[in-house]
Structure 1
Amino acid sequence: MARMTTPPAPQGVPPRGKPGRRLGPILSGTGPAHRAWLQPLREAFYASGMTLGELHQRTGWPKSKLSELLRAAGRYPRWSFTRDVMTGLHWSGMSYEVVRLQWVQAAREANKRTAWITACLAQSGDSTLADSDAVPLDYYAFREMHQDHYTAYALAFLRSPVTAEKAVRDVFTLLLLLWPDALGSERLERYAWQLLRETVLERAPKDNGRPTLIEAAFDTLALKNSPDPMHQITESMTLFRAISHLPPRQLDVTVLKHLRGLTDTQIADEMGISLAAVRSTARHARRSLNALLYPQHHQGGTPR
């Protein structure tokens, strides 16, 4: 008489664990960067045979929150929460550094602010990476090359040296975590500049949704040399208000060129664009400003 054997579980079906509420699927609309770390984490949960109640006992997080994290429901989770679940599952499927990188990528995919991301990393002690011995030498060289000009750009919008320096530190912390992505991008400088721009403008004071440069009007060479300071202040404020209405690239080139005093070559190196693109953008910016300041002479509309 043949022995009866238990047929193997079909492929792709998670093994049955102990009785407990069945974990629902990952919600539709979850981005690919989020799924990149969440799907392996779910597989580790299934393989552990644990229930949400047992995972709660190991991590201290409520079962409802654990269920949300494992289904990508609710808000994007903080890094400390994600790390606690990894630890509770004794997950060794991917290295800590790889999961942290994927968490950062997914946070950016979820449009989380740089300040939020770096604050989450700081809670877990991951914001000190830029000072560790494991930092790549090419990252160090990049930071040394660009830090001063990044800070000058940030200062134009944030005005406080402390706030500007903090923003730039956060940029380089995030850039270090994303360094493999940055190196694989079309242009490293352009990738890093976008991080800087997002970080600075999300923290800059706003006027009708646009970054305000009004305070910078009180710190111009024209004002210092003007025989009529009050008239010059009014003129500068009008100009700087118009500058804040420029398209993104025109705004950046104008700030770097006229507020920070960088040469066209330096601007190209910082923004990761060609010298010809800098000069073309500067010309378009001048036309845009003329159209904004003297609309009666530009009935055809503001040039791009």
Structure 2
Amino acid sequence: MTTRQDSTAEPPPEPGEPPAVPLEFAAFCELHRPRYLSYAHVWLPDPAQAAGAVQQAFAEIAVHWRELLGSSNPTARAWQILRSTVGEHTLRSDPPPERPDHAVDDDLAILHYVVGLAAPEIADVIGTDTASVAGRLRRTMLREASGW
């Protein structure tokens, strides 16, 4: 009797080779990496430090990937991991930039006015709906305008 091998199965990784990542995770990284990097560059002007923070965030997301997929909003959970990771790196930089950790509206403004994303793209990145992003951006703009 011969053993049939499934031709669609991937071969095991060679010793020292990193294991294959799930296709969904690879697609998620491909989609979000440029936007995550742009966001990280705002807080971490050194390109290597920004790239390192994003890579660290993706590593953390990878560790929790299956759990994230089971959550009600995987994209929002991944965004929180990125924000937290970038925040940790800003605390290590010298001098640390002023950044209130509770200012989600500031992140939306950064993604819109600095990174150049439209409300639908921001909603996609942070895992929320477009109307919520648009409303918060309007409130932020009005709050800033009233302070001038």
Q: What TM-score bracket applies, with the shorter chain setting the length?
A: 0.7 to 0.9
1:132 maps to 18
Q: CA deviation at 1:246?
A: 9.1
Query: Which runs of structure 2 are paired with 1:24-103 in the superposition (5 Å)?
Result: none
- Of residues 149, 156, 159, the one that matches 2:45 is 159
2:66 maps to 180
Q: CA deviation at 1:264?
A: 1.1
Q: CA deviation at 1:132?
A: 2.5
2:13 maps to none
**For 1:202 and 1:246, how far apart are their aligned partners in 2?**
11
- Of residues 120, 126, 134, the one that matches 1:271 is 126
Counterpart residue identity of residue 170, structure 1: Q
Structure 2: where are the runs of 5+ without partners? 1-16
User: Is residue 147–residue 168 contact of structure 1 (8 Å, CA) maintained in 2?
Assistant: yes
- Of residues 248, 251, 258, the one that matches 2:106 is 251
**For 2:27 and 2:120, how far apart are their aligned partners in 1?**
19
Larger relative contact order, structure 1 or 2 (CA cutoff 8 Å, min sep 6): 2
Counterpart residue identity of residue 79, structure 2: W
Identity, % of aligned positions: 32
1:42 maps to none
Counterpart residue identity of residue 174, structure 1: E
Counterpart residue identity of residue 89, structure 2: R
Q: CA deviation at 1:249?
A: 1.8
Partner SS state of residue 125, structure 2? helix
Cα deviation code 1:43-98 (max 9, x no counterpart): xxxxxxxxxxxxxxxxxxxxxxxxxxxxxxxxxxxxxxxxxxxxxxxxxxxxxxxx
User: Is residue 249–residue 281 contact of structure 1 (8 Å, CA) maintained in 2?
Assistant: no
1:200 matched to 2:86? The reply is yes
How big is the alpha-carbon RMSD for the aligned residues of Structure 1 and Structure 2?
Answer: 2.1
**For 1:278 and 1:260, how far apart are their aligned partners in 2?**
15
TM (norm. structure 2) is 0.79
Give the ranges of 4+ consecutive aligned residues of structure 1 lying more than 2 Å apart after TM superposition.
131-134, 244-248
1:190 matched to 2:45? The reply is no
Cα deviation code 1:255-287 (max 9, x no counterpart): 000011111111010010100011011011112
Partner SS state of residue 132, structure 1? coil
Structure with max Cα Rg: 1
**For 2:100 and 2:46, how far apart are their aligned partners in 1?**
22
